[in-house]
Structure 1
Amino acid sequence: MTPNTLPPDLTRWNRAGLSRFDYLDGHGAAWLERLRHDLAQAFPGWPLWAQLPAPPADPSTETEDERLQRLAALYAADPDDLLWQLVRQFARSAHVLGVHLDAQANEGYLRTASQWDSLRRLLAVLDEAPRPPASAATPLALLLKPGLAGTVAAGLQVQHLPASGAPLVFETLADLAADAAFNTLYARDHLANPAWLAGSTLTLDRGVDELKAGEPLVLEDTQLQRLSAHRIEGVFTLPDGRSRVSISPAVPKTAALHFTAGHTLVHLLPKDRLAPRGPASEGVAEAGHSLQLAVPSGTLAAGDLVLVRAVDDKPRYRRIKAVHADRLVFTQALGALRLLGATVDRPVTVPLTDMAEATRRRTVQEDGTVVLLVYAAGDWSRLAGLWLSHASQLQSGTQTREVWPTYRCLHAKYVPVDTSRERLQPDDRPGYTALSVTWHPDTDDVPGDAQLELFNPQTLLAPPPGAGAWAVDSFLNASVQGHLPPALLTSASKQAAAGDLAVVMRAGQLAWARLASVAADPDRPQATLTAEKPWEDRGGGPWFLSRSTVFAHFKLQARVQDWQRNTTPLSGTWLDTEPLPPSLPLHRRVVVANGSAAVATTVEEIAPDGQRLRLADALPAGSTAGNLVLYANVVETGHGVARPERVLGSGDATRNLQQFTLAVAEVSWVADPLMAAGVRADLQLSVAGETWQPIANLKDAGPAEARYQVRLDQDGFLSLQFGDGRHGRRLPSGANNVRVRYRQGVGLAGNLPPDALAQLVKPHPLIDGLVQALPSSGGADREAPEDLRQRGPSTLLALDRAVSLDDFAQLARGHASVWQAASFRLPPGRGRSERIELVVMAAGGEPPTPALAAELQAFLAARALPGVALNVSGVQTQRFGLNVTVRVRSDAFDPEAVKAAVRAALGEAFSPRRRALGQPLYRGEVYQVVESVTGVENADALITVNAATRAALDRVVEVGGVPMVATPTPRQCLLLDTAALTLQHQEYSL
């Protein structure tokens, strides 16, 4: 078969999987051979044929390689023949024109078109337009200077300074009536730990060097104004330098009395140590078996016999049962005792010789008083009027106990040895003292009516001369309620003042109060401390003067550990707050942040007391009373900078569909659910002073509506088209009457993490700081051609209405801020409404922020049937790793450069921009990407999936333990974890 009779075979290379059609059958060399063949048959005698490569006599014997070599030689031949040069130029021109026509044919089909303008024109036939870019936006909280308020006009510029490149500038998009009182609002007790203090140890929030065991500390509830004093038993210093104090008794922990960590103030280090002086008790009706000394007990010991006496009071003779430091315990109760001036001493023994004559030895008076007359050698005249004692035994059943009854010495008459006989009375004995001793059962200091009169005593016990050796301690008088009286008399105070705390402490017994006044005595070194309220106390024993100390003027106030840490969980829409500013209006926009999550919402209701509010949205997860902050000076900010007004052109009322181009790149596009792509160009267009509004499609505009349509051209400029009188008004005639203001700033670069916008471009007289609690979201680049080819037809099928399940996903993909979307029908539950879940991957490959999710819900709600419940959720990204070994000929390629190219190719091929929701990962895909990189001769690749990812995926198919296919669920997207990419190279060899 001759070359010119071969039938065209366009199917050999137009097979499935290619990105374009090849309409051209042949090339310049093949067509030149055809021309040569036909000319040789028409002009066989042309001398030129001898200068050109001749074909074989039998073409069937020529191989394909030989034929191609001959065609190449024929095409390269350059004989000196004008006609042949024209023929060869004709073949070349045919090839050039054919390639051009082939390209034009491919540009006429949506799936093979590669030029932006071709895609735009093809979509225009379908009444569609390329998806524009989008500008990121975020709510920004302004912190005003204290005490200031006013309006912050729109256009306030804030910036983010990246590590490299120009600053990213955002502007506020609306005016804000701001007030410093709205800067930050907090949950109630946000800096107060609600935990009850308990136990016998307190950890302070700092280290205190001067703490001493034995001193008191006072806990003060600053909220309920309650006090509790405790004794410090020990002090420990923790490794972090803080002090831990052991106290007694333990901190009270009852419903009626308890102390919370956040409201407790710990008063430490009293400066005044005062001695209590009064009001002191003068005596007691029943002293019991014990007695407190004001001085150490010294040589007193158990078994000693002592007497307790006070001025003008009858002494008590008692045997000591036990001695506890300065406290004596007796075998017999003391009874009523006058404490003022009382002392303890050892009695003296008075030896007796004999009694008087029988007729005068013992007499009984009418009241039963027994009078005895006894003689003691020596001068004992000082005993007159004193009370004496003598040991007696009382029988009680089978037990016998020792008692010490008292006897009154009425007279003590001493007769000197040298007294003359003439002067002696009948009962006188020179050198002896006649003691008249009386006894009566009612005065013998022994309970009961036992007969304890003296019968031939050998000795008597008598008080020693002079003051007693051991003074008895008195105690502070109690008030009518049994507590200390409001006013205490103490030694002179140097530091205490009104408002100070005071603690009276005796061992573990404490009393405490806040002082209303401290009055110094001008004549004596003493002061009167008066309490604001009755003294509270703990312990119950008497306040002995010598054993008690009054501590006052605590110089240090500390807090307990974590006193400001309030971890009370918060949820729902109601929130108890600190007192709210009275001017806080309803429906004000706020940002609620807890450090790890944030939400933008509005105030829907405020309680009458101004300490509780209801939000439109639930609090973010993880909120506690301690970490939650409400920012109420919130304004929407968008990526971009406002530019001055410029003239767009002149209107002509005689022209239909007049069009102008705003030759400015990167014009801002802001969210608008009424637009087909969910965004609109941020323009303010005026025609002869009248503001015109944008519309998604002029076909939807009425004849009298002042509307214009915006489209994006291949250079990224804006094309603005106006109406024709049927669909939108024509522009009125005028010179330079079409003017436009715009903002400039768009793209993925505007999607910033929280706290990235933290600096004003220029200082503002009202603003002190900024808080960006939420990430900026919604920013997206202009739609790529490959995305246009896929999205255009599917979005067209939805007809801008969400009716079927797929319509929701198709329309969401048409939103400028969305890369991928999938829709799922959920069970209706108990309701009748249809429930749809939309899983979205936002531009940038991340799940949508709450703000973008709200935009998408509004965007789709405007296109869905009424009553459809739509829930927008984020894509679940799962990550896999790769172990790749590439083999490279190092003599031809730099292995490191090849590895870098492989890494980049893998990162791009398995990035969020390229992987679809639910798309399985095949091991062969990895080989395809790696081996398509220039310089890679061959490779080995191994997919790695950790246990957590394996459990989350739908399934992982393995062969011989090697993962071959990893299939995510429809709501997941399986992406490459570049940190888990291990790449190495080997030298290529056969």
Structure 2
Amino acid sequence: MSAVDACGACAGVSPQTPEVVTNRAGLSSIRYRVGTQPLFKESMQARLGTLPELRTRDPGDFTLGLIDAWASVADVLSFYQERIANESFLRTATERRSLAGLAELVGYVPQPGVAASTWLAFTMMQAPGTPGSPSTSVDIPAGTRVQSIPLPGGLPQTFETIETVPARVEWNAFRPSLSLAQTVDADTTDVLLTGVSTGLKPGDSVIVAPSEQGSRPVLRTVSSVTPMTAEQQTRITLRPAISGAQVPAPAPPPPRRLRPLIALESLRVDTLPLHIASTFAAPRNWSFVTQQVLTSKAPFIARADDLHVLGWRLGLKLTHLFRTLAAWTPPVAPSVYALRTKASLFGYNAPDPRSLPTAVATAYKDDIGTGGDWQPPSDTMDPLLDAAYPRIAPGGDAAPSFAALRWSDSQGDHWVVANVDGVAEHGIAKYTMSGKVTQLRMSVVGQSDSGPVSVSYPNFSSYRGATLQAESEALPLARLPNDDPLPAGSQIDLDTWVDGLHAGQRLIVSGELADSPGNHASEMVQIQAVEHAIGADGGTTLTLVSALTQAYVRKTVTINGNVAPATHGSAANEVLGSGNASVPSQRFTLRQSPLTHVSAATPSGVASTLVLRVNGVRWSEVHDFYGSTPADRVYIARLNEDGSTSVGFGDGVNGARPATGTENIVASYRKGIGAVGNVAAGQLTLLQTRPLGVQGVANPTPATGGTDAETADDIRTNAALGLRTLGRIVSLQDYEDFARAFGGIAKALANWTWHGQTRGVFLTVAGIDGAEVEADGAVFGHLLAAIGDSAEPGVPVRLCSYRRGAFTFSANLMVDPAWDMDAVLAAAQQAARDAFSFARRSFGQAVTRSEIIALLQGVPGVVAVQVSGLRRTDTALFVAASRLAVLRENAQIDAALPQVGADASVLAAELLTLDPRPLNLVATWAEAPP
């Protein structure tokens, strides 16, 4: 510089630019400036030494002013060059546009978001004047539009059904079985009868025919009768039975299952409903047994599909077929019979033989026993009654007629219960008496321990005291209320027949939770099989594909079968513009936004609802034009910064150009997407389109799965995930990366586990912002299907939503007196919320006291920290401790990784976050404030 600076005006000044720029790895932003304004000015001023004629260094000089101005220009340029350099790297870029462009270089297109999905339950309208009559199926078409009632400060959201589903009035809200068949036995004390006019009173005798197999009727005495008018029932209390021997009866045959009802060669599958025809895809061993069914007297259980085929064959609706078959099956045998007639045996009032004159006694010597008493009939099963009883009739197969003979002697009380097989009336002269009598022919079906089948009375007193009760009348048993919860199982029993239910049909089960009184829940289930019990007490049994996850209070449960899947968004149609084959790479922008993308079993987890047609011909959306030929009718769609969507066509080399025409490019799509579609249960109640017969609609389950477009940080995290898997899933890390890049999934953790005898993958996932990934939701099913398409075959994969864990802590803070205490406490609360939020925590990550201390110590204004309590808030232990105001101090709280449960099932990983309730933070001054 001494040689350059001839005049000495630039002594002590040297060129400082361009600076050497170095950056260490892992920075969130990089330095790329080659200088700043002072350095640029100093460098240019140092080079003025080459101009010996310019000897002034006065800032007011024109030359020096020009240097100062250009130094400012260079400063600005270097500043923006540094910004541009930062936008060129995925880690340091801050603009979403930059990140999207960088991601697209490696084939990653940022997620546009996912539309929320839910299940809609429709209520059908009963035709006027036909309550309870069977209805025909009405289709609810795909595209039926429903709008939500917004919460305060919100906006209404529109959903549309995505499938056409059949609906019926009887599927509106049927219920599980609310009653149980009453069973009685020989020792039953209380019996509930139907009706309030039973005609019974205390002291009457009844015959109890036990419901269980292998038992015989017994004679019981009524102790009390309690009519219940409101329930239209009568409760009777029975005294303990006289000791009786129960002669085993033959067990009735069990209900048989209805076999296929039609010959295969006479069946035209194409004429059957789809859900029935699908059951006949495979050859079956058909036998034509219709006649056997209709002539059989045994109850049977029939599959719904078999009944549909029989009804189709006979030209009967299923409801009418139920009634026809039920008429051919025997009713359930009654269990309690009232005995309406009481009679004495003929001769009970004859004179004592010992008081008769000798001549009379000699004349009736054949009727006088050796002991001086009257000799009763040797066969008491053909008894003679003391008068004519025309109301006593013999029984038959359908309605048995019971009679009971009862007497007492020195050995105790005795009874015999018999069937009345025959009745005859005739005159008789015996025991010095004559008159008209009723003679019964009976067969024993039950007796007391000391009562022989053939009874002869040893003395006069027992014969006179014998009583026969007959004219039995069946008293129908009432069904008992079923107060047991509807369990979390895979079967639901219905009290009545519900027509038309079929395998594969979806149902919404709603009711009050059995273990949480006052709280209601709903869940979607799918039918695996339907069976109908044909008979007087017939009903329907539904077998579910997957078991109910909750137990419900039975009387609050309703089941809706008019269920259709729906997703967020409403239909839109527009003319995009005119094609021009002379212009390469034409681009158009959809006028309405945002474009709806729904969850799908694709590697990205989403699929667009956009359908594009040129001259009426549909074109296909592709990820990019690589590999496309000039004849391929393909296009790409990209999300713009303002939320709109642009559509681009090929250049004629990679992808075809649209044909020239006037307004010949037409788009149909749906608009609406994002987390705003996650409406609560019961919000979707406004029908914007009303199909024929539909009265109302609701969403018993909340809408889930709606996510917004990826943010800049999301793109930065997810852009490289696709490169790691390259469309294939091999390692555990691949499973995690694939799931994490799937639309609607925020976190994922893969572990090896055992599926029976096979080693497989257990994948724990969490939704956006910590949402649960419902097993019956679209995201869950599509993710599992997409993994199956990309993973190694033969490797079992089990998918499960994560378990939430919560904790809280108490701390004492010493605050610098120069700071505002309330502001410091608020900052400490917020710092804890941020650090222990869902976004910042990982599956299985523990929480330690040292971590909390370090966090709070870093809050400005905090001088010292003491953590006085650290505990979980999601366990019964915490609830019990909190009631006793006990603070449990832990050095660390662990979060569980996937583990085997008590029933050998695998429990998902746990993620610990801070309890949403306010923290217990106590602040004191470090020293007296000034």
**Residue number in structure 1 paired with 2:742:** 815
Q: Whole-Å Cα distance in 2 between the matches of residues 115 and 916 of structure 1?
A: 27
Which secondary structure state, in structure 2, belongs to the residue aligned with residue 711 of structure 1?
strand
Q: 2:168 aligns with which of 149, 162, 179?
A: 179
Paired residues of 2:118 and 2:565 also in contact (CA < 8 A): yes
Q: CA deviation at 1:569?
A: 8.0
**Residue number in structure 1 paired with 2:710:** 783
Q: Return the letter of the residue paired with 1:104.
A: I
Question: What RMSD over aligned residues (CA atoms) do the two structures have, in Å?
Answer: 6.2
Matched, 1:112 2:112: no
Matched, 1:863 2:843: no
Which secondary structure state, in structure 2, belongs to the residue aligned with residue 795 of structure 1?
helix
Q: 2:81 aligns with which of 91, 101, 122?
A: 101
Q: CA deviation at 1:750?
A: 3.1
Larger radius of gyration between Structure 1 and Structure 2? 1
Q: CA deviation at 1:117?
A: 0.3
Q: 2:588 aligns with which of 643, 654, 660?
A: 660
> Do the aligned partners of residues 198 and 547 (structure 1) sit closer, same or farther apart at CA in structure 2, a change above 3 Å counting?
closer
Using structure 2 for the length normalisation, give the TM-score. Answer: 0.64
Q: Return the letter of the residue paired with 1:128.
A: Y
**Residue number in structure 2 paired with 1:248:** 239
Q: 1:282 aligns with which of 321, 327, 346?
A: 346
Q: Deviations over 1:931-954 (max 9, x none)?
A: 6667666654467244987999xx
Q: Single out whichever of 969-978 and 100-109 deviates more from structure 2.
A: 969-978
Q: Whole-Å Cα distance in 2 between the matches of residues 929 and 770 of structure 1?
A: 50
Q: Whole-Å Cα distance in 2 between the matches of residues 481 and 441 of structure 1?
A: 22
Q: Whole-Å Cα distance in 1 between the matches of residues 865 and 585 of structure 2?
A: 58
The gaps in structure 2 that reach 5 residues or longer are 1-10, 127-134, 253-330, 393-398, 408-412, 421-437, 456-461, 514-521, 879-887, 899-907
Which secondary structure state, in structure 2, belongs to the residue aligned with residue 166 of structure 1?
coil
Q: 1:838 aligns with which of 760, 763, 776?
A: 763
Q: Whole-Å Cα distance in 1 between the matches of residues 682 and 403 of structure 2?
A: 51
**Residue number in structure 2 paired with 1:170:** 159
Paired residues of 1:185 and 1:580 also in contact (CA < 8 A): no
Q: Return the letter of the residue paired with 1:179.
A: R
Paired residues of 1:700 and 1:727 also in contact (CA < 8 A): yes
Q: 2:102 aligns with which of 109, 119, 122?
A: 122
**Residue number in structure 2 paired with 1:974:** 911
Q: Whole-Å Cα distance in 2 between the matches of residues 821 and 872 of structure 1?
A: 10
Q: Whole-Å Cα distance in 2 between the matches of residues 162 and 95 of structure 1?
A: 52
> Do the aligned partners of residues 707 and 445 (structure 1) sit closer, same or farther apart at CA in structure 2, a change above 3 Å counting?
same
Q: Whole-Å Cα distance in 1 between the matches of residues 688 and 249 of structure 2?
A: 55
Q: Return the letter of the residue paired with 1:854.
A: G
Q: CA deviation at 1:589?
A: 3.4
Q: CA deviation at 1:32?
A: 6.2
Which secondary structure state, in structure 2, belongs to the residue aligned with residue 913 of structure 1?
helix
Matched, 1:986 2:923: yes
**Residue number in structure 2 paired with 1:634:** 563
**Residue number in structure 1 paired with 2:519:** none
Q: Deviations over 1:879-914 (max 9, x none)?
A: 32222445557886471x654554444334322233
Which secondary structure state, in structure 2, belongs to the residue aligned with residue 906 of structure 1?
helix
1:525-674 matches, cutoff 5 A: 559-560=479-480, 562-563=481-482, 565=484, 570-571=489-490, 588-591=504-507, 593=509, 598=523, 600-601=525-526, 603=528, 617-620=545-548, 632-643=561-572, 645-674=573-602
Matched, 1:149 2:137: yes
Q: CA deviation at 1:120?
A: 0.6
Which secondary structure state, in structure 2, belongs to the residue aligned with residue 101 of structure 1?
helix
Q: Return the letter of the residue paired with 1:283.
A: G
Q: Return the letter of the residue paired with 1:666.
A: P
**Residue number in structure 1 paired with 2:662:** 735
Q: Whole-Å Cα distance in 1 between the matches of residues 912 and 141 of structure 2?
A: 44
Paired residues of 1:566 and 1:624 also in contact (CA < 8 A): yes
Q: Whole-Å Cα distance in 2 between the matches of residues 208 and 32 of structure 1?
A: 110
> Do the aligned partners of residues 503 and 777 (structure 1) sit closer, same or farther apart at CA in structure 2, a change above 3 Å counting?
farther
> Do the aligned partners of residues 477 and 202 (structure 1) sit closer, same or farther apart at CA in structure 2, a change above 3 Å counting?
farther
1:410-425 matches, cutoff 5 A: none
Paired residues of 1:32 and 1:88 also in contact (CA < 8 A): yes
Q: Return the letter of the residue paired with 1:906.
A: A
Matched, 1:705 2:632: yes
**Residue number in structure 2 paired with 1:690:** 617
**Residue number in structure 1 paired with 2:434:** none
Paired residues of 1:837 and 1:872 also in contact (CA < 8 A): yes
1:744-893 matches, cutoff 5 A: 744-751=671-678, 757=684, 760-761=687-688, 764-770=691-697, 772=699, 775-826=702-753, 835-850=760-775, 851=777, 852-886=779-813, 893=820
Which secondary structure state, in structure 1, belongs to the residue aligned with residue 915 of structure 2?
strand
Q: CA deviation at 1:842?
A: 2.1
Which secondary structure state, in structure 1, belongs to the residue aligned with residue 786 of structure 2?
helix
Paired residues of 1:570 and 1:624 also in contact (CA < 8 A): no
**Residue number in structure 2 paired with 1:21:** 30
Paired residues of 2:844 and 2:894 also in contact (CA < 8 A): no
Paired residues of 2:621 and 2:636 also in contact (CA < 8 A): yes
Q: Whole-Å Cα distance in 2 between the matches of residues 872 and 408 of structure 1?
A: 104
How many equivalent pairs are there?
754
Which secondary structure state, in structure 1, belongs to the residue aligned with residue 897 of structure 2?
coil
Which secondary structure state, in structure 1, belongs to the residue aligned with residue 582 of structure 2?
coil
**Residue number in structure 1 paired with 2:310:** none
**Residue number in structure 2 paired with 1:137:** 117
Q: CA deviation at 1:751?
A: 3.7
> Do the aligned partners of residues 445 and 173 (structure 1) sit closer, same or farther apart at CA in structure 2, a change above 3 Å counting?
closer
Q: Whole-Å Cα distance in 2 between the matches of residues 764 and 757 of structure 1?
A: 16
**Residue number in structure 1 paired with 2:286:** none
Higher share in strand: 1
Identical-residue share of aligned pairs (%) = 24
Which secondary structure state, in structure 2, belongs to the residue aligned with residue 853 of structure 1?
helix
Which secondary structure state, in structure 2, belongs to the residue aligned with residue 171 of structure 1?
strand
Q: Whole-Å Cα distance in 1 between the matches of residues 613 and 478 of structure 2?
A: 66
Q: CA deviation at 1:637?
A: 0.8
Matched, 1:944 2:848: no
Q: Whole-Å Cα distance in 1 between the matches of residues 869 and 530 of structure 2?
A: 55
**Residue number in structure 1 paired with 2:841:** 915
Paired residues of 1:707 and 1:728 also in contact (CA < 8 A): yes
Q: Whole-Å Cα distance in 2 between the matches of residues 478 and 730 of structure 1?
A: 108
Paired residues of 2:136 and 2:168 also in contact (CA < 8 A): yes
Q: Return the letter of the residue paired with 1:125.
A: L
Q: CA deviation at 1:660?
A: 1.8
Q: Deviations over 1:825-875 (max 9, x none)?
A: 4458756xx733322112242342223322112112222344443322222
Paired residues of 2:116 and 2:706 also in contact (CA < 8 A): yes
Q: CA deviation at 1:490?
A: 8.4
Q: Whole-Å Cα distance in 1 between the matches of residues 793 and 589 of structure 2?
A: 39
Q: Single out whichever of 147-156 and 563-572 deviates more from structure 2.
A: 563-572
Which secondary structure state, in structure 2, belongs to the residue aligned with residue 976 of structure 1?
strand
Matched, 1:233 2:160: no
> Do the aligned partners of residues 701 and 32 (structure 1) sit closer, same or farther apart at CA in structure 2, a change above 3 Å counting?
closer
> Do the aligned partners of residues 804 and 829 (structure 1) sit closer, same or farther apart at CA in structure 2, a change above 3 Å counting?
same
Q: Deviations over 1:806-828 (max 9, x none)?
A: 22221221111111123334458
**Residue number in structure 2 paired with 1:454:** none
> Do the aligned partners of residues 133 and 194 (structure 1) sit closer, same or farther apart at CA in structure 2, a change above 3 Å counting?
farther
Which secondary structure state, in structure 1, belongs to the residue aligned with residue 751 of structure 2?
strand
> Do the aligned partners of residues 977 and 829 (structure 1) sit closer, same or farther apart at CA in structure 2, a change above 3 Å counting?
same
Q: Whole-Å Cα distance in 2 between the matches of residues 879 and 486 of structure 1?
A: 85
Q: Whole-Å Cα distance in 1 between the matches of residues 71 and 29 of structure 2?
A: 24
> Do the aligned partners of residues 677 and 236 (structure 1) sit closer, same or farther apart at CA in structure 2, a change above 3 Å counting?
same
> Do the aligned partners of residues 600 and 200 (structure 1) sit closer, same or farther apart at CA in structure 2, a change above 3 Å counting?
closer
Q: Deviations over 1:366-399 (max 9, x none)?
A: xxxxxxxxxxxxxxxxxxxx53xxxxxxxxxxxx
